[in-house]
């Protein structure tokens, strides 16, 4: 009998008993039909039961392994930064990294560190000690040119991928290769094409778009 049938049957029984009243309490009503307890399986119990079944058959372990594999692959091969072209001709421009504070910057106890309206150039506080090289690791010419730069200059160069596997490249080059996650750095520096090299020029940042064959 379905759940709805059981509910109707129980309602009929209750209605008959109510209509009989106290005076007819001793009357024989007869057997209307079988009455079953109303029970519905808890959703959480159902999920746990299914998980236990999957665990027993080994399917749960397989699903977990696949999830871990996908996560590792995603971490090793982040999504490429979109909208970047390949440099064909050399060009350069200067960027003023100064930041103007519309509101005062204070410490936890209320002391003003930077007053409202102040403009600060971070390069006048801390110099940029490395050249930042943004490149596409999928392009063999770019990857090889940057590899040679790193081998020659070592810690003076900071290689930053916009596409490709930073993990595989770091392992092959035996040095840390970074990745511009979600294109935050390329957006901040206005990079439109790669390879691009960023270095300090006085109180400005010098952004150079250099064809892979001319990288030095």
What is the domain partition of the chain in residue ranges? 1-40, 46-76, 85-214
Distance (Å, whole) CA 112 – CA 105: 6
Residue pair 116/174 in contact (Cβ under 8 Å)? The answer is no
Answering whether pTM is above 0.85, one says no
Confidence of residue 45 (pLDDT cuts 50, 70, 90): confident
Q: pLDDT tens, 121-135?
A: 999 889 999 999 999
Distance (Å, whole) CA 36 – CA 74: 53
pLDDT of 155 over the 60 cut: yes
Domain 85-214 sits in CATH at 3.40.30
Lowest-confidence region among 1-10, 38-47, 166-175, 189-198: 1-10
What is the pLDDT at residue 26?
46
């Amino acid at each position: 009998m379905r759940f709805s049938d059981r509910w109707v049957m129980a309602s009929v029984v209750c209605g008959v008993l109510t209509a009989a009243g106290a005076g007819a309490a001793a009357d024989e009503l007869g057997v209307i039909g079988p009455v079953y307890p109303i029970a519905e399986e808890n959703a959480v119990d159902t999920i746990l039961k299914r998980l236990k079944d999957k665990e027993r058959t080994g399917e749960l372990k397989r699903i977990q392994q696949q999830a871990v594999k996908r996560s590792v692959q995603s971490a090793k091969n982040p999504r490429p930064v979109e909208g970047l072209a390949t440099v064909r001709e050399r060009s350069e421009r200067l960027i003023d990294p100064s930041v103007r504070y519309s509101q005062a910057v204070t410490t936890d106890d209320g002391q003003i560190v930077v007053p409202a309206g102040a403009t600060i150039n971070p390069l006048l506080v801390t110099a940029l000690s490395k050249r930042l090289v943004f490149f596409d690791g999928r392009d063999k010419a770019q990857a090889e040119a940057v590899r040679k730069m790193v081998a020659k200059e070592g810690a003076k160069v900071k290689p930053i991928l916009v596409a490709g596997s930073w993990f595989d490249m770091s392992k092959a080059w035996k040095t840390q290769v970074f990745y511009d996650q979600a294109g935050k750095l390329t957006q901040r520096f206005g990079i439109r094409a790669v390879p691009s090299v960023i270095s300090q020029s006085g109180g400005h940042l010098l952004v150079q778009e250099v064809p892979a064959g001319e990288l030095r």
